[in-house]
């Protein structure tokens, strides 16, 4: 039996009214994609591409003008489904007068974590994000990186099935960034679905199974990294070591059988190159 997708978006369009004349601004234009359960999915796009709008619709914070968005088979506007979602917004701002532990506990309560499990879940989330040592300090004393990590902790404290992280490594040093990458892998290994929005394309390439790229409200491409980045019009031959690869030899190789070729594949460009080539002039 086929598994219900974690996220299923069909023909999603979102218009905003701007100014007193009510001129419409189309933030998402007929967008469709699916995120399967258990995968790490990257949602990419330049600023103003409609990523945040799409995320807000997934979270039920905005209503689509047309089209549908289903989370685990249920309408994204359904409040109950949000107990299965964890969300870290971009540049989060939290209650600064609470300590990190109080903050995560508060969000655990709001997520419906049973009273008897709040302490345990809070400790787990703090440990997973490396915030145990700083958990007693007030949030307003945290650095930007610590804020991001406590943000991840509140997003995962109720052990959600779907975790949406908007720029989770913004402002975090490389070590902290790698730790968050490890946390994402750990979530994937536990069967969780992760949606990752990031400008760090290397990180996306490293962590994501599939990606969707948006530009000016429209979906440019969606698929596995192989599907998106592999250049199907070309082939790549990997020649064994010690083979003198001169132009004459290549000519001869064409004429003769019995080539010493270990593998042949399609060349693949980097995600960053794809991003720049496909989006910079559009």
Partner 1 sequence: MENNPHSDSLLEKFRRTMKYAAAFAVIFAAGTLSAPLGDFAWTEARERIGTFSPKALERSAGTGVALGTLGGFRTVLADIAWLRGFHFWSERDAPDCLKYCELAMTLAPEQLFFLENTANYVAFEFPVWEIRKRGGFLRVPESVQREIQKKALADALKILDDAAENNPDEPKIFVLAAQLIAIKTDRIYGAPDYAKSAEYYRRACELPGAPWFAFATYAKFVGEHVPAERASARAFLDKRLAAAKTPGQKRFFSELLEEFLVPDS
Partner 2 sequence: MFFLKKIFWIARNTFTEAARQKFFSFLLLLGAGLTAVSLSLTHFDFGDSELKFIADFGFGGIFLFGSVLAVVTTVQLFFTEIENRTALTMLAKPVRRGEFLFGKFLGVWCLLGVFVVLMCGVLAAVLALRAGTLAEIAEARSLPPPFVDFVGLAIFGVLQWVRLGIVAAMTIAVSSFAQTYLYAVVVSFVALIIAQLQYVFADFASGEKVSFGVKALTGTATKLIPNLQLFNTGEALVLDPAGLSAATIMSALGYGTIWIAALVFVGMWFFRFREI
Considering the complex, state which of residue 9 and residue 201 has its C-beta at the smaller distance from partner 2: 9
Binding partner at 41 among partner 2, partner 1, none, C-beta below 5 to 8 Å by kind: none
β-bridge mates for residue 165, sequence order = 88, 196
Classify each residue of 123-159 as buried b or exposed e, where b means 16 or more C-beta atoms within 10 Å of its C-beta: ebbbebbbbbebbeeebeebeebbbbbbbbbbbbbbb
Residues 6+ positions from 87 with CB-CB distance below 8 Å? 59, 155, 163, 164, 165, 166
According to CB under 8 A, which residues from 50 to 89 bind partner 1?
A: 50
3-state secondary structure of 104: helix
What number of other Cβ atoms are within 10 A of residue 237's Cβ? 13
Among 80, 238, 241, 245, binds partner 2 (CB under 8 A): 80
Distance, in Å, from the CA atom of 235 to the CA atom of 90, rounded to the nearest integer, reads: 40
Q: How far is the CB of 89 from partner 2 (least distance, A)?
A: 5
According to CB under 8 A, which residues from 13 to 72 bind partner 2?
A: 16, 56, 59-62
Q: How far is the CB of 216 from partner 1 (least distance, A)?
A: 6
Helix (H), strand (E) at residue 153 = helix 144-156
Among 216, 239, 253, 279, binds partner 1 (CB under 8 A): 216
**Residue 95 in contact with partner 2, rule: CB under 8 A:** yes
Distance, in Å, from the CA atom of 77 to the CA atom of 63, rounded to the nearest integer, reads: 7
Considering the complex, state which of residue 22 and residue 233 has its C-beta at the smaller distance from partner 1: 22
Per-residue contact string for residues 154-193; x = within reach of partner 2 by CB under 8 A: xx--------x-----------------------------
128: nearest Cα among 106, 171, 158: 158
Per-residue contact string for residues 136-155; x = within reach of partner 2 by CB under 8 A: ---------------x--xx
**Residue 110 in contact with partner 2, rule: CB under 8 A:** yes
Binding partner at 162 among partner 1, partner 2, none, C-beta below 5 to 8 Å by kind: none
**Residue 29 in contact with partner 1, rule: CB under 8 A:** yes
Distance, in Å, from the CA atom of 112 to the CA atom of 120, rounded to the nearest integer, reads: 14
Among 17, 117, 144, 252, binds partner 1 (CB under 8 A): 17
Number of residues that bind partner 2 (CB under 8 A): 32
Distance, in Å, from the CA atom of 227 to the CA atom of 170, rounded to the nearest integer, reads: 27
* Residues engaged in binding partner 2 (CB under 8 A): 16, 56, 59-62, 79-83, 85, 87-89, 91-95, 97-98, 106-107, 109-112, 151, 154-155, 164
């Amino acid at each position: 039996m086929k598994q219900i997708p974690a996220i299923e978006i069909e023909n999603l369009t979102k218009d905003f009214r701007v100014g007193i004349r009510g001129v419409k601004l189309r933030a998402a234009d007929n967008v469709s994609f699916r995120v399967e359960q258990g995968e790490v999915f990257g949602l990419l796009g330049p600023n103003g591409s409609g990523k945040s709008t799409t995320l807000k619709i997934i979270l039920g914070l905005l209503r689509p003008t047309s089209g549908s968005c289903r989370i685990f088979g249920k309408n994204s506007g359904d409040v109950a489904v949000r107990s299965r979602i964890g969300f870290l917004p971009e540049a989060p701002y939290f209650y600064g007068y609470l300590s990190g532990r109080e903050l995560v506990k508060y969000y655990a309560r709001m997520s419906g974590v049973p009273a008897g499990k709040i302490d345990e879940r809070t400790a787990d989330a703090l440990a997973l994000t490396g915030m145990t040592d700083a958990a007693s300090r007030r949030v307003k004393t945290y650095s930007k990186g610590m804020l991001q990590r406590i943000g991840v902790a509140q997003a995962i404290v109720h052990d959600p099935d779907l975790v949406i992280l908007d720029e989770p490594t913004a402002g975090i040093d490389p070590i902290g960034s790698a730790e968050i990458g490890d946390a994402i892998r750990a979530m994937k290994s536990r069967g969780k679905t992760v949606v990752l929005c990031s400008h760090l394309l290397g990180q996306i390439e490293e962590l994501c199974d599939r990606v969707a790229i948006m530009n000016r409200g429209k979906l440019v491409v969606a698929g596995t990294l192989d599907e998106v980045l592999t250049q199907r019009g070309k082939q790549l031959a990997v020649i064994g070591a010690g083979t003198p690869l001169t132009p004459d030899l290549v000519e001869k190789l064409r004429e003769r059988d019995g080539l010493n070729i270990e593998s042949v594949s399609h060349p693949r460009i980097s995600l960053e190159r794809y991003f720049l080539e496909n989006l910079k002039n559009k």
